[in-house]
Amino acid sequence: MKKTGYYKIVGIVFAIIIIIGAGFSFYAKSTSTVSKEKSVILLKATDNQPEDYPTTKGLRYMAKLLEERSNGHIKMTVYSSAILGDGKDILDATQVGTLDIGRISVSSLVGYSPELNVFMTPFLFRDADHEWKVLDGPIGEKLLKGLEKNGFVGLGYYDAGARSFYSKKPIQSPQDLLGQKTRVLDVKIQKEMIVSMGGEPLTTPFLDVYPGFQTGALDAAENSPPSFYSTKHYELAKYFTITEHVSVPETIIISKKTWDTLSPQDQELIQQATKDSTVYQKQLWSEFSKQSMEKLKEQGVNVIIPNKELFQQAVAPLYAKYPEYKDLIKEIQDTK
């Protein structure tokens, strides 16, 4: 009888230990921003572009590198086509830690780090090589660092190409924009750029640009060749003027709440995978952009190569209006 009672007590104690252990395990999982099970870190990443877009492919390549290099310790699931939201939705979720990683345009981040506004400056970069020397160097790193005080860690940049004008009527010089209702990014310096050329800036929501051309609410807009092609705006705007007046890169951000739960080794793995995926994404973007230009020509779009100096001269006075960026702009322009 004594032995039976002893075994019963041992069994009860053992069951209590299991229950308490399960409770602690559940608590740890429910309060962590990074889901861990058998030492596996599960990350959620999102992009508002479709599966075949270069930025989405870049994230998928990053996920592949992470799983391979960590031997399955880090797994990243990529959600495309704005399944987890778009723009502010991505930023809000990443900021509070319910989303781990997001691909977002620099233009959406200027409210969180004002220095990023420098990328909105027209004709900031001499060419693509100059842009990437800046982004991959200490200046690009410093600008991403400014995001941390608002709950984001900037991992790196993706290519989004340069933006040019497309329109119903040919644009050969700034004078051709006179009085033209032109859709532009909802950023102060970009709106001022259109005004300096004599145009009327409108911050029409992106999805309303096509009907805007249909109804006459818009005469012109500006974006990269892939965006111009994928949106089918070429059906209504038959002129594409290669001004390449601004290059606004994409960024890869991770929630600081997620970042702070990771070991230094895991952080290094993520940083290196981001860096390597950028090289891959840039190659994809270059090919995608060339293909888009060819397809636009096949659709009857008239491609105009203007004298860029005329556009540069028209917007040059804008630089004096932003003295707070004077030193940073000089630092960028002096980068060789």
pLDDT of residue 38: 52
Strand, helix or coil at 212? helix
pLDDT in tens, 246-295: 999 999 999 999 999 999 999 999 999 999 999 999 999 999 999 999 99
pLDDT of residue 87: 87
Q: Which of 140, 160, 48 is nearest to 103 (CA)?
A: 48
Q: Which of 244, 240, 247 is nearest to 297 (CA)?
A: 240
pLDDT in tens, 136-177: 999 999 999 999 999 999 999 999 999 999 999 999 999 999
CA distance 131 to 278: 14
Domain 163-247+294-333 adopts which CATH fold?
A: D-Maltodextrin-Binding Protein; domain 2 (3.40.190)
CATH entry, 33-159+249-290, from 3.40.50.10790, 3.40.50.300, 3.40.225.10, 3.40.190.170: 3.40.190.170
What DSSP letter does each residue of 141-167 carry, written as one string? HHHHHTTGGGTEEEEEEE----EEEEE
Residue 176, Cα to own-chain centre: how many angstroms?
Answer: 31
pLDDT along the chain (336 residues), means of 10: 41 39 37 54 95 96 98 98 90 97 95 95 97 98 97 98 98 98 95 98 94 98 95 97 98 98 98 99 98 98 98 96 96 97
The residues facing 36 across adjacent strands are: 41
Burial call 295-326: b when 16+ CB within 10 Å, e when fewer: ebeeeebeebebeeeebeebbeebbeebeebe
pLDDT of residue 27: 34
pLDDT of residue 86: 86
Q: Structure pTM?
A: 0.84
Q: Which of 39, 4, 73 is nearest to 268 (CA)?
A: 73
Q: Which of 125, 236, 261 is nearest to 183 (CA)?
A: 236
Does this chain's domain 33-159+249-290 share its CATH topology with 163-247+294-333? yes
- For the chain, domain boundaries: 33-159+249-290, 163-247+294-333
Give me the helix-helix angle, 54-69 and 264-298, nearest 10°: 150
